[in-house]
Amino acid sequence: MKFNKVNLGLQTRILLLVCSVVAAVLLVTDIFVSEKVTYITKKHLEDKSMETAHIVAKSSIVINGLNNPKDEKSIQEYANEIKNIANVEFVVVTDMNGVRKSHPDASKLDKKIVGGDDENALKGQEYVSMSQGTLGKSLRAFVPVYNNNGTQVGIVTVGILMGNVEQAVKESRHAIYLAIEIGSLIGLIGAIMLARNVKKTMFGLEPSAIAKILKERNAMLKSVREGVIAVDKNGFITVVNDEALKILNKVGITESPIGNEAEKFIPNSNIGRVLKTGNAELDQEQELNGIRLIANCTPIIVNDKLEGAISTFRDKTEIKLLAEQLTGVKLYADALRAQTHEFMNKLQVILGMIHMKCYNELSEYIKGIANNYQSEIGFLIKHIKDPVLAGFILGKLSYARESNIMLELSPDFFVPEPKNPEVTHELICIIGNIIDNSIDAVRNTENKSINIDLFYDEEHLYIKIKDTGVGISENLKQKIFLKGYSTKKNTRGFGLFLVKSSVDKLHGKMEVTSKINEGTTFEVYLPYESKGDIS
C-alpha cells in the first residue's frame, strides 16, 4: 500500500516540532527525576525506620524488660506507643533467642520472629533489609539492644510494609507529574504563539508559496523591459534585474550594485528623496553619465511603515523610438481614458455608498457591475477573436456610455483574427474614427444611438456603422474625406481622411449614405484573410 506524502502547513509543523521536543525533554526528565525521587523516598523511610529502632533500643523500658522477665510486659505497651507515634507498621522487640516480646498482633507474642533476616542482628549488627514477615513483605530496620554492662540482650525490628513504601514513592512522584503537565501546557502555548508569530512575519504564507513567489518575482524581473532597482529603508540596494544591469553597464557602471548605497552608487538618483519624503516621483527625466532616463520611484510601505523604495527606469531614446513607431495612439488613448473615467465614476458611487453604510445595496451594485462587465467582455471575446480589436471596441463602449450615447453591437456579428497583424491597426483606425464621427453627430440630438455591425464571409469583412445624428448634406459628402477638412471649429480634420487611407491601403471599398436630421450610415467592404480556424 502506498501513502501520499502529507503536506503539513508551517504552523502545524512548528507545533508538532516544539511539542515533540518538549515531550521528549519532559520524558527524559521524568525518568531521571523519578528514579532520584524513588531513591530519596526509600532512603528517607529507611532512615526513619533505623532512627525509630535506635530510640526503642536505647529505651530503659526495653532494656529492663529484656533483663528481667517480670518487666517484659511493659515492652509491648511501649513498642505499640512508639509505633503509633512514628507512624510505622510494626515495632518488634525480641530476646537473644528470637522470641518476640512485642508485636502489633498480641497473639504473636512469645513466638519466634519470622523472616530469617535477623541472624546478623543477633550478632550485634544493625542494618536494613527486605523480607516477608507475618504482616507481609516489608522494609525492616534491625538494631541490637545492649544492657548497662554492654552485653547484647535482644534486638529491635522496625518495619514499614512495602505497599506503604510504594505508596509513598507514588505520592512523591505526583509533584513530578504535575510539573510535567504544566510544562507540556506551557510548551504547547509557546509553540502556538511561536507558530503564529512566524506565520505573521511571513504574511501568512507557507514556505512553498514563498518559494513560488520568489521564482515568479525573479522571472518577472528578468522579463520586464524596464530596469528595476529596489533598496531597503536605509537606501542600500537589495534587488537589481538584468535590464538595470544592462543600462548601468551602458553608462560605464560595471561594479555589482547589490549592497551598495543607491545615492552614492547611482548619481542623480531620486531614490534618496523618496526614502526621506515617502512620496512617489513618477515619470522623472534623469541624466546618468550622458544618457537620459525616464524614471519612476515609489516607496515600499508595509504595515504603514516605510520599508524601502523601488525604482524603474528606461532609456529615453528607446521610448522615443517606440513612440515614433506607434500610429493611431490617440484612438487607443481615448478608449483607455473612457474606460478609466467610467471606472472612476463607479468608484465614486461605491465610495458614497460606503460612507452611507449601504452595504447591501453596495453588494448588489458591485455584482451588477461585475456581471455586466463580464457579460460584455464575454460577448466581445466570443464574437471578436482579435484581443486587440476586442479591447478597443470595449473602450469605445465605455466612452459612449460616458457620453450618454447608446452604442449597440449587432448580436450575430463575427470577426476572426486576421492573418496579418497589421490589419488590426487599420481596422482600429477605420472603426474608431467612424465611431468618433458618429458620436459627434448624435451628441446634440434627442435620439443618441449608434449601431455597429461586423460580418465576415468568404475572406471578406463587412463593416456597417449607423447613427441617428444630424446627417451629412450631399455637398459635404465629397469633402469629408479630404485631409484637414472639418465642419467643427478646431484643428481636427484628419479622422475620416485616415479612414479613407486605411480602406485604400486594404484595397477595400466604402459607401456613405445620409439624410439630414435622420442619420448617417458608413459601409465598408474589405478583403480579409483570417488566421486559422474561424469557429
Q: Integer distance in angstroms from the first to the last C-alpha of the chain?
A: 48
| 395-431 confidence digits (pLDDT tens) | 788 778 878 888 888 877 788 888 887 788 888 888 8
Does the residue 131 lie in any domain?
yes
> Going edge to edge, which strands form the sheet with 136-146?
90-95, 152-161, 136-146, 127-133
Q: What is the mean pLDDT of the chain?
A: 78
Same domain membership, residue 514 and residue 462: yes
Residues 195, 102: Cα–Cα separation, whole Å? 67
CATH of the domain at 256: 3.30.450.20
DSSP classification of residue 192: H
Same domain membership, residue 372 and residue 244: no
Query: Per-residue confidence at 337, pLDDT binned at 50, 70, 90?
Result: low
Total number of domains in the chain = 3
Same domain membership, residue 139 and residue 100: yes
| Contact between residue 160 and residue 45 where contact means Cβ atoms under 8 Å apart | yes
Q: What is the mean pLDDT of residues 498-525?
A: 89
Among residues 130, 127, 141, the alpha carbon closest in space to that of 92 is found at 141
Percent pLDDT > 70 in the chain is 81
| 103-151 confidence digits (pLDDT tens) | 888 888 888 887 777 788 888 888 888 777 656 667 888 999 998 888 8
Q: What is the pLDDT of residue 4?
A: 46
CATH of the domain at 398: 3.30.565.10
Q: What is the mean pLDDT of residues 51-69?
A: 86
Same domain membership, residue 447 and residue 394: yes
Q: What is the mean pLDDT of residues 31-56?
A: 79
What range defines the domain where residue 134 resides? 15-168
Does the residue 65 lie in any domain?
yes
Residues 92, 346: Cα–Cα separation, whole Å? 102
Same domain membership, residue 287 and residue 234: yes
Give DSSP secondary structure letters for 468-496.
-SS---HHHHTTTTSTT--SSSSS---HH
Return the number of other C-beta atoms located less than 10 Å from residue 369's C-beta. 14
Same domain membership, residue 384 and residue 292: no
Q: Is the pTM of this model over 0.75?
A: no
Same domain membership, residue 520 and residue 404: yes
Same domain membership, residue 457 and residue 374: yes
- Strand, helix or coil at 201? helix
Q: What is the pLDDT of residue 332?
A: 52
Cell 491601403 sits on residue? 505
Domain boundary among 310, 325, 340: 325
- Residues recorded for the chain: 535
**5 pLDDT higher than 60:** no
The region that residue 150 occupies, defined by phi over 0 for left and psi between -120 and 50 for alpha, beta otherwise, is left
Q: What is the pLDDT of residue 324?
A: 40
Determine how β-strand 406-409 pairs with β-strand 449-456. Answer: parallel
Query: Per-residue confidence at 267, pLDDT binned at 50, 70, 90?
Result: confident
Among residues 502, 483, 504, 501, the alpha carbon closest in space to that of 493 is found at 483
**322 pLDDT higher than 60:** no
